[in-house]
Amino acid sequence: MSTLPSRPAESGFDPARGGTAVLGKSVIVKGQIFGREDLTIDGEVEGTVELQEHRLTVGPNGKVTASVKAREVVALGTIHGNVEARDKVEIRKEAKLVGDIRTARIVIDDGAYFKGNIDIVRAEAPRVASAPKPAVPVAPTGTSPGPGNGGPAK
């Protein structure tokens, strides 16, 4: 039997997605963060944060001074820097975001502070290769190709 405390069910842990990493209130990071799991920052980060396929949550005590790239960004604290989210950006009631946003969807709660530009990008649908169109002209019905009808001259 394990003596480790069990994780609460609401922690968002999903073994298929790799769980959620947390930087606590007393943690200060200066540099680059690259991750393959969801990340919650409740401390301070300065630099860059990249979680291409995952969610970044900046907690109520979090202060991020960085360029951010993630699938989804949820701001409860402060973000100073440009944010690029493939899916969605949420700026909650007490949050502050100063920087440009590039995303497919955005939610800004009443009472949130935002200063910057927003670029809404559409998610690209997978392109289906269409059948190639014939490059050779087709002779009109009832005529045979020949001189004057699109065929070679004799």
Is residue 149 scored above 90 in pLDDT? no
Over residues 109-129, the pLDDT tens digits come to 999 999 999 999 986 655 555
Whether residue 26 has pLDDT greater than 50: yes
The yes-or-no verdict on residue 8 having pLDDT over 60 is no
Could you tell me which of 94, 74, 99, 83 has the C-alpha nearest to residue 20?
A: 74
The predicted pLDDT at position 121 comes to 92
Least confident of 10-19, 35-44, 94-103: 10-19
What ranges do the domains of the chain cover?
13-120
Query: At residue 92, what is the residue type?
Result: R
**pLDDT, greater one: 144 or 30:** 30
Q: What is the CA radius of gyration of the chain?
A: 27
Q: State mean pLDDT over 127-154.
A: 57
Asked whether the predicted pLDDT for residue 31 surpasses 60, the reply is yes
Q: Mean pLDDT over residues 128-140, rounded?
A: 58
The mean pLDDT of the chain is: 81
- What's the pLDDT band for 3 if we cut at 50, 70, 90? very low
Q: What is the pLDDT of residues 55-66, one digit of tens each?
A: 999 999 999 999
